[in-house]
Structure 1
């Protein structure tokens, strides 16, 4: 099924939903390959009309481009996925990526080449590599900032972010926290997210929502749960604030190991992003 309300034809689209069911480096509970399907399914009950912005989702030019089938070579898949997303960007279509593991964010960054990566995440994801794999989901923010450590042709990210803002992070290795102290990284802990105000000026932003930024009580259907997280409203407020500056959006790390709570939140956040992006005055 397509994302509910994503009824625009490709040639008339302003936004495009793209599923990226990559699930090769999940380190605890696999199932992110089912994320795109779950998110579409549990968004089916939401009203088309948004009272806050006085808009109908189905009238905002959203197209569902389906899934880009994943395979087990992550760098090659990311290169292919990034090319597919770049085709959208060249046509002035804003990509709305549904993961899949968080590694797919690297393809979104490659395609949009933002100034800033804003990430809602329980984890820093700033590892140089995890178990020897630089393309693990645990290293995606590092890849978005530093590119490919080996500069292999199939693993090159054409676009990288100048800096990253990580909201809701509450765990990481010692080396990750050291990397986070550099000038190109800002970490906002969960207790401070509600007071965070974007300082984006005229910068372009790629917004990534790892659903594990939410407390597990809110979104248990994810691969690596981490207690003491954000509320659904706190995440929603960030999405609304950042959307007007955004050149791309994703919701990742949803799996099928709950009763739909994580998928329902991700689908609602995608709609909130589109409503706020289409009408930035609200």
Structure 2
């Protein structure tokens, strides 16, 4: 269970009562099917929950207790090797949260799971912190690879644009796709000074954090490390700015190949999203 959340695994009667008051719903998606380099994202949701245990319940900046913000944890959607079928099942689980007027908090798992999150939330804007463009049409013949997820999301009905912050690598095909009007790429060196302004106002937004957006010095536990990345504080500031507008959130690509640095950062960014989202509602 994510620390500070109410345990709703197993669908007990107590869980049904909790569902009525849930503001946020944590769902783990341990998919590890198309990882390119270092596998292990199947352990991501578990590690994020584990390494979030050290964080204090109280947040000084927003004067809030995480345990009082209506977060429930519905456990993991166990992954299997049929990716289209798995994504459809995961989408249904997340859509249940949306229909209950809660914000889904998806813990990955490889980045492919973000497609299920976007399908459930139906955003107009997809905002992503990522080292990679993920705009390939296919990768190794697979159009549901983690390297294609942003392109697949842009193809969803209603999605008007993708804003990718921290991207520093991609194929020639991807950079050509990124030149289209529906894609904005903010390189790492410009993220600290970037502001969304009123760009997200009045629009449905989905926020995805690929942990490899961080420089691998801070988050080595990820499948495809890419140097010259973002500082954790830069990622935190983006999450804080976007959270008040976002209807869905995920953090993905955490694996078990470090001592918990990636998972700790992922857990902290998840909490920052919740605190910032609730602070909006109270203002």
Shorter chain as normaliser: what TM range?
over 0.9
Which among 100, 113, 126 is matched to residue 91 of structure 1?
Answer: 100
Which among 184, 187, 205 is matched to residue 189 of structure 1?
Answer: 187
SS at structure 2 position matched to 1:141 = helix
**CA positional deviation for 1:7:** 2.0
Give the alignment of 1:78-117 within 5 angstroms: 78-117=87-126
Q: Residue 170 of structure 1 aligns with which residue?
A: 168
SS at structure 1 position matched to 2:207 = strand
- Structure 1 residue runs of 4 or more that deviate by more than 4 Å after TM superposition: none
Give the alignment of 1:121-270 within 5 angstroms: 121-147=130-156, 161-198=159-196, 199-270=199-270
**CA positional deviation for 1:162:** 1.4
In the alignment of these two chains, the number of paired residues is 270
SS at structure 1 position matched to 2:236 = helix
For the 8 Å contact 1:68–1:81, the answer to whether it is kept is yes
SS at structure 2 position matched to 1:128 = coil
Could you tell me which runs of 5 or more consecutive residues in structure 1 were left unpaired when the two chains were aligned: 148-158
How high is the TM-score relative to the length of structure 1? 0.94
Could you tell me which runs of 5 or more consecutive residues in structure 2 were left unpaired when the two chains were aligned: 8-17
SS at structure 2 position matched to 1:262 = helix
Cα distance between partner residues in 2 of 1:91 and 1:7 = 16
RMSD: 1.1
How high is the TM-score relative to the length of structure 2? 0.94
Q: Residue 29 of structure 2 aligns with which residue?
A: 20
The answer to whether the aligner puts 1:57 opposite 2:57 as a matched pair is: no
For the 8 Å contact 1:210–1:251, the answer to whether it is kept is yes
